[in-house]
Amino acid sequence: MANYQIDLNSDIGESFGPYTIGLDDDILNVITSANIACGYHAGDHNTMYETVRTAKANGVGIGAHPGLPDLQGFGRRHIAVDPEDVYRFVTYQIGALKGFCLVHHVEMNHVKAHGALYNMAATDAAIAEAIAKAVKDVDRHLILFGLSGSELIRAGQNHGLTTASEVFADRTYQPNGTLTPRSEKQAMITDPDQAVQQVLEMIYDNRVIAVDGTPVDINADTVCVHGDNPHALKFVEQLRGRLSEEGIDIRRVGA
Amino acid sequence: MANYQIDLNSDIGESFGPYTIGLDDDILNVITSANIACGYHAGDHNTMYETVRTAKANGVGIGAHPGLPDLQGFGRRHIAVDPEDVYRFVTYQIGALKGFCLVHHVEMNHVKAHGALYNMAATDAAIAEAIAKAVKDVDRHLILFGLSGSELIRAGQNHGLTTASEVFADRTYQPNGTLTPRSEKQAMITDPDQAVQQVLEMIYDNRVIAVDGTPVDINADTVCVHGDNPHALKFVEQLRGRLSEEGIDIRRVGA
Amino acid sequence: MANYQIDLNSDIGESFGPYTIGLDDDILNVITSANIACGYHAGDHNTMYETVRTAKANGVGIGAHPGLPDLQGFGRRHIAVDPEDVYRFVTYQIGALKGFCLVHHVEMNHVKAHGALYNMAATDAAIAEAIAKAVKDVDRHLILFGLSGSELIRAGQNHGLTTASEVFADRTYQPNGTLTPRSEKQAMITDPDQAVQQVLEMIYDNRVIAVDGTPVDINADTVCVHGDNPHALKFVEQLRGRLSEEGIDIRRVGA
Amino acid sequence: MANYQIDLNSDIGESFGPYTIGLDDDILNVITSANIACGYHAGDHNTMYETVRTAKANGVGIGAHPGLPDLQGFGRRHIAVDPEDVYRFVTYQIGALKGFCLVHHVEMNHVKAHGALYNMAATDAAIAEAIAKAVKDVDRHLILFGLSGSELIRAGQNHGLTTASEVFADRTYQPNGTLTPRSEKQAMITDPDQAVQQVLEMIYDNRVIAVDGTPVDINADTVCVHGDNPHALKFVEQLRGRLSEEGIDIRRVGA
C-alpha cells in the first residue's frame, strides 16, 4: 500500500511595526511549514523574532520567504530586477532569518520566494538560477520550494538542492501547468469540496485537470494555504481534516 | 621584550543603491578590520556582497556594523529604541552579513555597533546588554568591539565574549575616559604627529592624557580610523607607517 | 448666555500599503477635524487620496499630521532631529497633503504634529518654532494645533497663526499642565463618565484638576479622540452625545 | 527672420541624507529648467529645500521630477504600478515640492517624470493619462515635459496642458521616433560636435536622422542635459555656447 505524504505551507510573519496582518497563531496550528517574511516585502526584525519562536514552539518547519524590496506593494508588483541583484537580496534575507534561527536554536528548513519574485522565478530561468544559487551558497541543506514544473524547481535540481514542488488548492490550472491568472474569471476555486478534491487528485494521481479539461502532470510535495482571514483559516482546517481522514501523512517536507 | 600588537579598524561598505561613499578599496589596503554596514543606517545587499568579497581578498577581518534604522540620518541620530528592539535588529543585521560570509566562504570576525548606537552602548547598560547578548546568541566566537572602558565592553565580558577595546587617534578624551563631544572646540586632534603620539602612548602605557591633563587608564586593542576622504586616508597611511617603524605588530584582533 | 464651542479631532489615514489600521470611516462620522498622516510615520499616497476624499464628503476639517520619519516606530519614538530638519520635513508633509486637497478641491484647515514630534514641540522651544514657522511659511491661514499651554501654541501665536489648544478626555494632567506620562499608573482615565466630566469642566471653566488635586488653567479649543478600536469609537460617540445634550456647539476650529 | 528658442533641462536635487550626487551648483549655471527629485526615487526634504532655493537664485525654472518609489534602484527599474497609483504618487510628489516653492516664494514651472516612469509614460497611454491628469488637477498652469511624440505629450494636450517636447543631444533615435535603447551599441552619441549638430537640426528643421538614415519629425522645446560628472557638465557648456553663437534664444519653457 502506497504511503502518501503532504506538507501544508503558509506565508506568515508579515506584520510590520505598528501594523498587524494575518492570523499567525492560528494558522501555525494547522500547517507544517511556515514561510517567514524577511523585511523586504513585509515583516521586520521584531516580527521575525516572534515568528521563529512561535513556529519552533509549534514544531513547524521554518522557511525564509524572501521577496522584492517593496513594502508598499507587499512584494506583489513586478520589478525589473537583475539576476545578480536577486542573488544578493535573497542571500541577505536568508541570512537575516538565519540570525533568528541561531538565537532560537532551531534549524532553517526551507526557502520559498514571495509574490512577484515567486512568479518571476517560475518562468524566468535567470531569476530562478539566481535564487537557487543563493540558497545553495548560503546552505545547501535548505529545501527549495517552487511551483510544480517551474524553472525554479529545475534550477534547484540543477544545483543539487532538495526541492519541494508546490501546488494550490484554491487556484485553477492552465493546460501548460501554470496557474490561471487572478484577473480571469475561473482563477479561484471557491467551493471547499472541489478544492479538497483537486488536492487529493494531485496527491494520489500526480495530476490536475486544467480549466479546459486537459489532464496535466503535477508533483504535489506541499500545498500552499492561507491564514490571512477566518474564512481562509477555516478552509485549511477542513482540508487538513479531510487529508487526515484519507490517511495521508501531513508533515513538513524533509521530515 | 614586550610584544605590542594593534588592530586598525574602519567603517566601510556604506554605499547605497546609486550612491557611493568612502574610499573602500584604498582603506582596505591599510586596515586590519572592516566594519561593514548592514543595510539599516547604510549599505545594501549589493554593497555587502562586494565589500565582503574585497575584504576577504585583502585578508582583512570582517565585522558586522549594525546601526539604528535610519538611512537618512546615517545612524548618527539618537533614536529612543527599546533594548528588546536593539537585540532583535542587531540579530537581524549580523545574520544578514553572515549570509554574505557564507556565500564567500569566509568567517565573520567581529561586531562593532555604529554611530548613535555605539554611543548609546557606551553608557547605557541596558542597550549594551542587548547588543552583547545578541552577538553571543548569534555566534559566541564573534569579537565584540566597544569603546575602551564602556558599558558595552563590560556587557561583553559578562557574557564571556572576547572583547576589543577601541581607542581613537584623532579625538581627545575627557577625564572620565569618554570622548570629548564633537560639539566642543578641543574635540578633534588635527595634528597627525600628536595623533600618532596619542596612539603610541595608549599602546605602550595603557593611558591617555585627557583634555585637562589628567592621565586616564585605557585599553588599546584596536584604533578607529577613517577612509571617507583622501585626507583621512593619508593619515591612516602615516599612522600605519609609524606603528610599523616602532615594531608594533599590526594585525586584526583575534588573529 | 455663554455660547460654548468645541472641536473633536482624531488621527486618521494611518494605513500603509497592504496594512490597514483604524476605523476611519466610522470616526469620520463623529469628529469635526481629521489629522491625516502624510507618509513619514504612517499613511501613503493612496491612503491620503482616499482619506481627504472621505473627510471632505463628511464635511470634516482637513489637517496635515506631520510626523518623524519612522514608519517602523509609528512616529512615537523620540529621534534627535535638528530644528532645521523639522522645518523642512514639516514643509514637505504639509505640501504633500496640499496636493491631495488641490485634486479634491478642498481647503486644508489645520496642522497637528504627531506622536513624538508633538511631544517634543510641547516643551522644546526650537522644535516648536520650526513647526510654527513651516506652517506659516507654507500657508499662514492654517490653524496650528498644539497641547494647551505648550511651547508650540506660544510659537504659533508669536508667528501670528491662529492656534487651537488641545485637551485630552482620557488622560490625566500634572500640576504643571502636562499630561501624566503613560508609564505612570494614573495616566489614563478609563471611566467614560469621568472623562466626559473632565472635558465639560475644561470647556466651561477653562481648568482641569491635576492628579494631586491642583486646579490647572487650560484652554479647550479641541479634544483629541481616537478611532483605532471599537471601544475608543464608542467612547467618542458617548462624549459627542453628552456634549450635544449640554448644548455645546460641536464644530471644527475656525468654522 | 525666424526666432528660435530652446530650453535646457537637467535632473538635479538627487542627493539623499548623507549621500551627495551631481554637480548641482555648476549645472544650475548653464540650464534653464531644473527637474527636482521629490523623495521617491531620490532627494529628500533637505535636498529639496536647498535645491529650490538655489534654482530660484539662479533664475532657473523649477520643476517637480516625480519618480517611482524606488530609492535603491534610483527610479530606473520598471515597476508594475497601476495608473491609479501613479496618479496619486505624482500628486504627492508635486505637492511636496509645492511646499518648498511656497516657503521660498517661487512658482513651480513644470513637471517631468523620471527614469522608468518617464519611459513608461512615453508608450503606455494609461500611465501617461494618469500623470497628465495629476498635473492638471494639482495645477493646470504647470507645463508638462515629455518625450517628443510620446503618449505623455498626447495626454497632456488632451487635458489642455501646455506641453514641452523633449529631445536628447547625446542619444540616437529609432525610425519610429523612440530613443535607441541604451543596451544597443549605437545608443549614445559621444562626439560633442555630432551631438550639437543633432540638436541644431532638431531646432531648425524639426527633424532628426534615425540610426538607419530615416528622417523623423520631432519637436524640440527642451533638451535634456546632465550634470552628474565633469565631462557631462563640460558638454552642456559647449552645447550652450554653440547655441548662443547661433543666436538661438536659450530660455526656460513658458518664459
What confidence tens digit (pLDDT) does each residue in C55-87 have? Answer: 999 999 999 999 999 999 999 999 999 999 999
What confidence tens digit (pLDDT) does each residue in A94-110 have? Answer: 999 999 999 999 999 99
| A37/A39 Cα distance (integer angstroms) | 6
What confidence tens digit (pLDDT) does each residue in B121-146 have? Answer: 999 999 999 999 999 999 999 999 99
Give the pLDDT score at D1.
44
| C235/C233 Cα distance (integer angstroms) | 5
What confidence category does residue B181 fall into, taking pLDDT thresholds of 50, 70 and 90? Answer: confident
Cα of D74 to nearest chain B Cα, Å: 6
What confidence category does residue B2 fall into, taking pLDDT thresholds of 50, 70 and 90? Answer: low
Nearest to C73 among A17, A42, A73 (CB): A17
| A57/C80 Cα distance (integer angstroms) | 39
Nearest CA-CA partner of D236 in D218, D43, D37, D228? D228
* C124 phi, psi to nearest 5 deg: -100, 110
What confidence tens digit (pLDDT) does each residue in C152-208 have? Answer: 999 999 999 999 999 999 999 999 988 998 889 999 999 999 999 999 999 999 999
What confidence tens digit (pLDDT) does each residue in A34-65 have? Answer: 999 999 999 999 999 999 999 999 999 999 99
Cα of C103 to nearest chain D Cα, Å: 5
Q: Measured between beta carbons, which residues in chain D are less than 8 angstroms from residue C39?
A: 92
Residue D120 predicted with pLDDT over 90: yes
User: What DSSP string runs through chain D?
Assistant: ----EEEEEEEE---BTTB--S-HHHHTTT-SEEEEE-SSSS--HHHHHHHHHHHHHTTPEEEEE---S-TTTTT-S-B---HHHHHHHHHHHHHHHHHHHHHTT----EE---HHHHHHHHH-HHHHHHHHHHHHHH-TTSEEEEETT-HHHHHHHHTT--EEEEEESSB-B-TTSPBPPTTSGGGB---HHHHHHHHHHHHHHSEEE-TTS-EEE---SEEEE--SSHHHHHHHHHHHHHHHHTT-EE--TT-
Return the CATH fold of A5-250.
TIM Barrel (3.20.20)
* A243 phi, psi to nearest 5 deg: -65, -40
Give the pLDDT score at B8.
98
- Subunit contact A88:B49, Cβ cutoff 8 A: yes
What confidence tens digit (pLDDT) does each residue in D156-181 have? Answer: 999 999 999 999 999 999 999 889 98
Residues of D with CB under 8 A from a CB of B: 16-19, 21, 42, 44, 71-74
Cα of B44 to nearest chain A Cα, Å: 9
Give the pLDDT score at A32.
98
The C-alpha angle D93, D55, D16, rounded to 5 degrees, equals 50
Residue A221 predicted with pLDDT over 70: yes
What confidence tens digit (pLDDT) does each residue in C2-52 have? Answer: 589 999 999 999 999 999 999 999 999 999 999 999 999 999 999 999 999
Give the pLDDT score at A248.
97
Q: What is the ipTM score, two decimals?
A: 0.96
Q: Residue B142's beta-bridge partner residues?
A: none
Give the pLDDT score at C1.
44
Residues 6+ apart with CB under 8 A from D105: none
Residues of C with CB under 8 A from a CB of D: 39, 45-46, 48-49, 85, 88-89, 91-100, 102-103, 134, 137-139
Residue B207 predicted with pLDDT over 60: yes
What percentage of chain A reaches a pLDDT higher than 70? Answer: 99
Phi-psi region of D48 (alpha: psi -120 to 50; beta: other; left: phi over 0): alpha
What confidence tens digit (pLDDT) does each residue in A56-90 have? Answer: 999 999 999 999 999 999 999 999 999 999 999 99
Residue A1 predicted with pLDDT over 50: no
Q: Give the CA dihedral C132, C138, C139, C143, nearest 10 degrees.
A: -30
Give the pLDDT score at A2.
59
Residue D144 predicted with pLDDT over 80: yes
DSSP A180: P
What are the structural domain ranges in chain A?
A: 5-250
Q: Measured between beta carbons, which residues in chain A are less than 8 angstroms from residue B49?
A: 88, 91
Q: Measured between beta carbons, which residues in chain A are less than 8 angstroms from residue B97?
A: 95
In a mutagenesis test of the A interface, which of D40, D74, D76, D77 is the best target, namely the one with the most A β-carbons within 10 Å?
D77
Give the pLDDT score at A182.
84
Give the pLDDT score at B1.
44
- Subunit contact D79:A81, Cβ cutoff 8 A: no
Give the pLDDT score at B182.
84
Give the pLDDT score at A3.
85
